[in-house]
Amino acid sequence: MSSVTTDKKKLLKRMESKKSHSWWWDSHISPKNNKWLAENLEEMDQSVKRMLKLIDEDGDSFAKKAEMYYKKRPELVALVEEFYRMYRALAERYDQVTGELRKSIPSDLHSQGSGISEVGSESASTFPSPDGKRRRPKSGHRAAGFEFFLGSGPNKEDDSTSSSSESESEGSSINYYSGSVVDGDDNELRRKIVDLESELHDVKQKLTVYQVDNMEGCNTDRKTDEPQLTQVELLPEKNVEAAFGSESDGQSHEPELRTTTPADGLRVARDRLQAIEMRNSEARREFDNIHSSDDMNYWENRLQLAQKDIDEWKSKFNSEYREVSKLQERIARYKSNLSEREQEIRELKTSMSNCEQKNSLEKLELQTKIAQLVKEQAHTEEKLKECKTCCQNLKDEIKQAENQKTELIILHGVKDKTQTIEIEHLRADMAGRDRVIDDLNRSLDLLLSEKDELHAKLGKLGAEVSTKGDQIVEMNRHLTMLHIEHLNLIAKAEGARVVAEKMKVRVTELESEVERLIKLVSDGAEEKREAIRQLCLSIEHYRDSYHMLREAFVGSKYKARLALVAA
């Protein structure tokens, strides 16, 4: 029994030393982060403390512990069930938060490349609120999932902005790859716009304070400053125009802002605001020396003109914002045209390859036709030569026959009849040979006409070959131009790829952070499971001790009855 009690005390001390205050509860999930989480943690701590108090109080003897266990067992069971309910609620909330983190991290990365419309909303928030306080621009670098992990909290505007950024990022198609080439310029423009808005707000505040001070000074020192009216009248008009001549300057420089780029326009606007502030300070110094009631309306009119000038510059800022948004839309259109140009280049390459194959096939066919025609021309020339040789041979034979005729006439003058018969035969033979010569001449004319036709065909084929060569040269030149455009597009795409790699590095960092948080939560869950196991062990131990006490009590009662019976 003593060993059992010592083991039980050690177990209770070990459980009391933990008290569910692990480093995970204190460092990772701080009560400052979320009201709901803080309330659940506080309830869990109180439940654990009550359980430990119920288990450990009045535990000096087995009888007291058995009585305590018997009386407070329902309360202990209820606390265990409440502990388990809160544990399940925390686990479900953790599952929900991790799911939202997985969904919100990529959308936040896309929303970082959104348009300048968010800048307009952020810069508009820097104007003075009705209570006179200046609103600070909200930071857009916190992930929406991180805000959800921290809970709703006291600031609901951050949640609304994060949800709106998520919806805008889901609705935009460019984006990831989207605004990635000009992110640096956009950030610079954002900073410039925010600085200009803050300076404009400061100028307006100074003007209002200055007007209020001068009104108060005018009411208090109206009688004491009457001698200074002459000094006001003697002020040169050019100083007054230099102090409050921003309206004419704004009108003269308005075309410059329209013709220059948005960044140059913002820089010029910032310089103009600084000049306005300097002029207002000079006017304030001059106005401190002048508190006349007659000139107060004049200076108030000048202040109103300066206020109108500030409003005019504000409208110019808004126009610059719209121009920047138009430029971003143009960049998006250029990016969309990039894919179309690449598709056109691929189609042109395929058409070029098809044309080259077709031209090569046609060229081979023309070359084979030319070779065949050359062979036919050589064959016809050989036939023509043979015909010429035949004609020459026939002419030689005619000459020989005529010579023989003359010789026969001379030698055989006596034999006229026989010779006349032979002459007639020879004449018939000559007529037949003349007919053969005519046939050969007609065939020669046909061959010459065929030769002319072949020469015409050769000229046509040469012209076709030259036109095909010109077409090939033109297509090669067009291909080089397309290749140059493709190289330019590749360079732009390389810049976009560098930005994408930076975003990937950021994604890996966020994934490592999420893994670290998951590990921390799993460690806390393991510690909670260990605490539950220890509680179960203690409950089992109490159950065993209760059974032992009950058996001992029943045995003692039985022995007492036996003793009474024996007595």
Nearest to 18 by CA among 545, 535, 541: 535
- How sure is the predictor about 69, in pLDDT bands with cuts at 50, 70 and 90? low
Q: Is 163 helix (H, G, I), strand (E, B) or coil?
A: helix
**C-alpha dist (Å) from residue 141 to 99, 106, 146, 187, 192:** 20, 13, 11, 12, 18
Which domain range does residue 269 map to? Answer: 181-338
- How sure is the predictor about 34, in pLDDT bands with cuts at 50, 70 and 90? low
Return left, alpha or beta for 114; rule: phi > 0 is left, psi -120 to 50 is alpha, else beta.
beta
Residue 378 resides in a domain: yes
Residue 420 resides in a domain: yes
Residue 87 resides in a domain: no
- How sure is the predictor about 61, in pLDDT bands with cuts at 50, 70 and 90? low
160: pLDDT strictly greater than 60: no
- How sure is the predictor about 67, in pLDDT bands with cuts at 50, 70 and 90? low
Give dist(CA 29, CA 32) in Å, integer. Answer: 8
pLDDT at 156: 38
pLDDT at 307: 77
Residues 318 and 361 in one domain: no
Residues 353 and 497 in one domain: yes
pLDDT tens digit sequence for 321-350: 787 778 778 777 777 777 777 787 778 778
pTM given for the model: 0.19
124: pLDDT strictly greater than 50: no
pLDDT tens digit sequence for 285-313: 665 655 454 566 776 777 778 778 788 88
Residue 426 resides in a domain: yes
376: pLDDT strictly greater than 70: yes
pLDDT at 5: 53
Domain count, the chain: 2
Helices then strands, counting H and E runs in the chain, come out as 15, 0
Residues 378 and 329 in one domain: no
pLDDT at 215: 59
Per DSSP, 174 falls in state S
Which phi and psi angles does 431 have, rounded to 5°?
A: -65, -40
Give dist(CA 539, CA 73) in Å, integer. Answer: 10
Locate 277 and state its tokens.
């502030």
Residues 279 and 230 in one domain: yes
Residues 300 and 230 in one domain: yes
pLDDT at 213: 63
Residue 85 resides in a domain: no
Residue 515 makes CB contacts below 8 A (sequence gap 6+) with none
| 542 and 69 Cβ atoms separated by less than 8 Å | yes
pLDDT at 296: 66
Give DSSP secondary structure letters for 190-258.
HHHHHHHHHHHHHHHHHHHHHHHHHHHHHHHSTTTTGGGHHHHHTS-HHHHHHHS-HHHHHHHSHHHHH
Query: What's the rounded mean pLDDT across residues 421-434?
Result: 78
405: pLDDT strictly greater than 50: yes
pLDDT at 214: 58
Residues 478 and 455 in one domain: yes
Residues 233 and 319 in one domain: yes
> What's the mean pLDDT when you consider all of the chain?
66
Give DSSP secondary structure letters for 113-162.
T--THHHHHHHHTTSBPTTSPBPPPPP--S-HHHHHHH-S-S-HHHHHHH
Name which residue leads in pLDDT, 214 or 550. Answer: 550
Residue 153 makes CB contacts below 8 A (sequence gap 6+) with 33, 34, 35
